[in-house]
Amino acid sequence: MADTLLTTMTVADLAKCIKAKDVSPVDVVEAFIKQTTATEPLLNAWITLIPDQARAAAKQAEAEIAAGNYKGPLHGIPVGLKDLFWTKGVRTTSGSAITKDFVPSEDATVVAKLQDAGAYAFGKTNMVEYAYGGSEHNAIYGAPKNPWKLDHVTGGSSSGSGAAVAAGQVPIALGSDTAGSVRAPAALCGLTGLKPTYGLVSRFGVSPLSWSMDHVGPLAHTAEDVAIAMNAMVGYDAKDPGSINHGLEDYVEALRNDFKGLRIGVLQDDFIWDVTLPEVKTAFDDAITLISGLGAATEPVYIGNLERLALAQVTITTAEANTYHHEMIQRAPELYHPVVRRRIEAGFFMPVAAYVQAQRVRALFEERYASLFATFDLLVAPTTPAPALEANGQSVRLPNGEMPSRETVRLTRIFNPNGLPAITMPTGFSKQGLPMAAQFIGKRFSDGLVIGAAHAYQQATDWHMRRPSI
Amino acid sequence: MSQPTLDKKTFLILARQAGFNPTDPHLDELFPEVQLMLERMEMLFDSPVDGFEPGYRSPESEV
């Protein structure tokens, strides 16, 4: 099978070929290494590549499968890991000069779980320094480029994971999401990305940004691939204080769900639509029309007070990030990117009452979301207000003014404080040829429903099947 | 309840207490960031949270 075909395939399709022994895991890894070698000079998607280890893992998978020990759809699949996931014996920089030589002595739980399912690490993807930002602030490793348009950003903070999957360097990657750091790069790179329910996927061995809002999730081409990954990633972990023992769900089985009978609230808040570009709205409206036609009962709904919820998210992050970095930033402030440094240092000046007040706003929205999910199965909103911005652009022009580039995660951060599952999927392409996206949001532990809705949408569209011509 | 805006003199006092060297030119860049943060946070103190305590959820509860 041609290498170029292999690198455009989904995990599900690669798995079928591997299981049927039409291709071997060694063929697969060589195809992805070839694609990475050809495209990485243009993209800068990786901090550390480990081709020798990847080849060895692929060879081992080949031997296991040949011996009749096929482990399932991740067996022999290479995975990109955002460089804040601990990898035993492989440096884990968190995108920073400070931890540039940190070599963990064990794997993050989620990395170990993926390996147990037969997947293996292909390398460590580039990221915003310490995952603190939706733009590409990285002093040492530089910013990844968007495979759809190289002079445009990928979104962050899982920027390299977005670029690597979109460019066919790996079929799937992991990211972390505190304000939208899985969903924004997935959206801007034309991918499907999930922020699972808080506590469902272990954060042990994942460098923190904001303990109470950090989520680990996959970026892939399809909701089906997200489901396959989640089946391996989910599970209680006593080593993660936020881990929740909620039992296991078969997310692949949940793909059988469709839109019939689902009640979906279409968000109408000015907080969302005042900043969203008309072409994003047009694509979103088309998606809602389609979903309605597929049997969902869609209805406009307002959440209300979203400015305050967004501010609470920012406040909690500032306080928790300052606490985590407290010693390091006092010891070596000059080693931080100037933007990241200022964000963390601002926390030294935050009134204690602001953090407590932010937690009260969070509690307020527990009740508000509970009320909404008593009426609706899912909510839906655009993922980002605009397609990928030009690199180094500080703002995007909107009909009613300019929006700072940091607002890329404006529409995603409002679902982090309450730990809700949210999945982004492509809904079209802009006039410039850049992906646009929408997100489904569900109540906690409705991850299967959320993934199933994205899959049902993708069964009726082909946006997720397009690939950049890189 | 709202937070008073921060003037430069108070900022430098607080900066010294936090361990910064008040003559460090970096503080000129940090000051507007802190001012902006505090201005934005005023909205938090104007939120309809009467009756809501900061413990936000039972970890295992569904919304």
Quick: pLDDT tens for A416-446.
999 999 999 999 999 999 999 999 999 999 9
Residue B56 lies in a domain: no
Question: What range defines the domain where residue B29 resides?
Answer: 1-44
Cα angle value A13/A259/A193 (rounded, 5°): 45
On whether residue B35 sits in a domain, the answer given is yes
Q: Which chain A residue shows the shortest CA-CA distance from B30?
A: A342
What pLDDT score does B3 carry?
A: 53
User: Cβ of A443 and B47 within 8 Å?
Assistant: no
Q: Do A363 and B6 touch (CB under 8 A)?
A: no
Nearest to A146 by CA among A318, A464, A390: A390
Beta bridge partners of A424: A193, A439
pLDDT computed for residue A108 by the predictor: 98
pLDDT at residue B57 tops 70: no
For chain A, the average pLDDT equals: 96
**Contact criterion met (CB < 8 Å) for A351 and B41:** yes
- Fill in the DSSP letter of residue A90: B
Q: Which residues of A touch B15 (CB under 8 A)?
A: 348-349
Longest pairwise C-alpha distance within chain A: 63
- Closest partner CB to B44 (pick from A315, A342, A369): A315
> In sequence order, which residues have a C-beta less than 8 Å from that of residue B15 and are 6 or more positions away?
A348, A349, B22, B27, B30
How many residues are listed for chain A in this entry?
A: 470
Residue B59 lies in a domain: no
Q: Count of domains in chain B?
A: 1
Q: What is the pLDDT of residue A177?
A: 98
Using the structure block, give the residue that is written with the tokens 């709205």: A281
A405/A387: higher pLDDT: A387
Distance separating alpha carbons of residues A134 and A458, to the nearest angstrom? 26
- pLDDT (average), residues A179-207: 98
What is the DSSP secondary structure assignment for residue A7, as one 8-state letter? T
Burial zone of A450 (CB within 10 Å; 0-12 exposed, 13-18 middle, 19+ buried): buried
Two structure tokens written together for A189: 């790179």
Cα dihedral angle (A151, A154, A158, A162), rounded to 10 degrees?
-110
Structure tokens at A342: 């200022």
User: Among A316, A114, A337, which residue's Cα sits nearest to residue A205?
Assistant: A114
Q: Under an 8 A CB cutoff, do B56 and A311 touch? A: no
Residue A311 is nearest to which of B18, B20, B43, comparing CB atoms? B43
Encode A365-397 in three state secondary structure.
HHHHHHHHHHHCCEEEEECCCCCCCECCCCEEE
> Pseudo-torsion of CA A260, A248, A424, A294, nearest 10°?
-10
Rounded average pLDDT over A356-382: 97
Considering only CB atoms, B18 lies closest to which of A242, A348, A358, namely A348
The average pLDDT across A174-185 equals 98
User: pLDDT class for A3, splitting at 50, 70, 90?
Assistant: confident
pLDDT on residue B60: 54
Instruction: For helices A338-346 and B26-41, give the axis angle rounded to 10 degrees.
Output: 50
- Residues in chain A within 8 Å Cβ distance of B47: 305, 308, 357, 360-361, 364
Q: Is residue B52 part of a domain?
A: no
Interface test with A, best of B1, B38, B39, B56 (most A CBs within 10 A): B56
pTM: 0.96
Q: From CA A181, how far away is CA A409, in angstroms rounded?
A: 8
| B51 lies in some domain | no
Angle (nearest 5°) at CA A93 between A88 and A95: 145
CA–CA distance, B59 with A462 (Å, rounded to integer): 38
pLDDT reported for residue A404: 72
* Residue A155 scores a pLDDT above 60: yes
The reply to whether B22 falls in a domain is yes
Q: What is the pLDDT of residue A400?
A: 63
User: Which of A244, A353, A370 has its CB closest to that of B59?
Assistant: A244
Q: Which of A189, A255, A259 is nearest to A227 (CA)?
A: A255
Nearest beta carbon to residue A357 from set B30, B44, B62: B44
Whether omega for the bond prior to residue A157 falls within 30 degrees of 0, making it cis, is yes
Beta-carbon contacts of A229 under 8 Å, excluding residues fewer than 6 positions away, are A11, A74, A114, A172, A218, A220
Q: What pLDDT, on a 0 to 100 scale, did the predictor assign at position A397?
A: 66
Ranges of beta strands (E only) in A58-171 are 78-82, 120-125
**Subunit contact B11:A359, Cβ cutoff 8 A:** no
Sort B45 into a burial class: Cβ within 10 Å, 0-12 / 13-18 / 19+.
middle
Strand partners, A428: A436
Rounded mean pLDDT, B2-22 = 87
Cα–Cα distance between B42 and A381 in angstroms, integer?
27
Q: How far apart are CA A451 and CA B3, in angstroms?
A: 42
Determine, for residues A318 and B45 on separate chains, whether the beta-carbon distance falls below 8 Å: no
State yes or no: is A157 an active-site residue: yes
Q: Taking residues A88-102, report their average pLDDT.
A: 97
Report how far Cα A364 is from the mean position of its chain's Cα atoms. Answer: 26
* Options A24, A82, A145, A202, the catalytic residue: A82
**Both ends of chain A: CA-CA distance in Å?**
20
Domains in chain A with CATH codes: 1-470 (3.90.1300.10)
**Chain A residues with CB-CB distance to B20 below 8 A:** 348
Report how far apart, in Å, the C-alpha atoms of A310 and of each of A279, A444, B5 are: 24, 19, 21
Minimum mean pLDDT among A72-86, A262-276, B44-58: which range?
B44-58
**Nearest Cα residue in chain B from A417:** B56
Asked if the model's pLDDT at residue B4 lies above 60, the reply is no
Write the pLDDT tens digit of every residue in A330-344.
Answer: 999 999 999 999 999
Distance from CA of B24 to the nearest CA of A (A): 12
> Is A161 one of the annotated active-site residues of the chain?
no
Check B48 against A364: CB less than 8 A apart: yes
Rounded alpha-carbon distances, angstroms, from residue A260 to A267, A453, A457: 20, 10, 12
**% of chain A exceeding 90 in pLDDT:** 93
Residues of chain A with C-beta less than 8 angstroms from the C-beta of B48: 305, 364
- What whole-number distance in Å separates Cα of residue A309 and Cα of residue A314? 9
C-alpha–C-alpha distance, residues A373 and A367, integer Å: 10
Q: Is residue B63 assigned to a domain?
A: no
pLDDT above 80 (res B63): no
Q: In the annotation, is A239 catalytic?
A: no
The single-letter DSSP state of residue A241 is: T
Counting one residue from chain A and one from chain B, the pairs whose CB atoms sit within 8 A come to 110
The model's confidence at residue B50, banded by pLDDT at 50, 70 and 90, is very high
Helix or strand holding residue A215 (H, E): strand A215-220
User: Nearest-CA residue of chain B relative to A236?
Assistant: B60
List, for residues A17-64, the tens digit of each pLDDT value. Answer: 999 999 999 999 999 999 999 999 999 999 999 999 999 999 999 999
Give residue B61's pLDDT: 63
Nearest CA-CA distance, residue A249 and chain B, Å: 15
Type and span of the H or E element at A80: strand A78-82
- The Cα A386–Cα A197 span in angstroms is 25
Cβ of A418 and B30 within 8 Å?
A: no
Interface test with B, best of A316, A341, A345 (most B CBs within 10 A): A345
What confidence tens digit (pLDDT) does each residue in B19-40 have? 999 999 999 999 999 999 999 9
Alpha-carbon gap, residue A286 to A33, rounded angstroms: 38
Position A464 scores a pLDDT of 98
Name the B residues in 20-59 with CB < 8 Å from any A CB: 20, 26, 29-30, 33-34, 37-38, 40-41, 43-45, 47-49, 52-57, 59
Q: Residues A198-253: pLDDT tens digits?
A: 999 999 999 999 999 999 999 999 999 999 999 999 999 999 999 999 988 999 99
Query: Cα A273 to chain center, whole Å?
Result: 23
Q: What is the pLDDT of residue B62?
A: 60
3-class secondary structure, B31: helix
Facing residues of A435 across strands? A429
The ipTM (two decimal places) reads 0.90
> What is the DSSP annotation of A245-274?
------TTGGGG--STT-EEEEE--HHHHT
Provide the pLDDT for residue A427. 98
Retrieve residue A152's tokens: 């445009």
Backbone dihedral angles phi then psi of residue A232, each to the nearest 5 degrees: -90, -30
**Residues A177-188: what's their mean pLDDT?**
98
What is the least distance, in Å, from the CA of B36 to any CA of chain A? 10
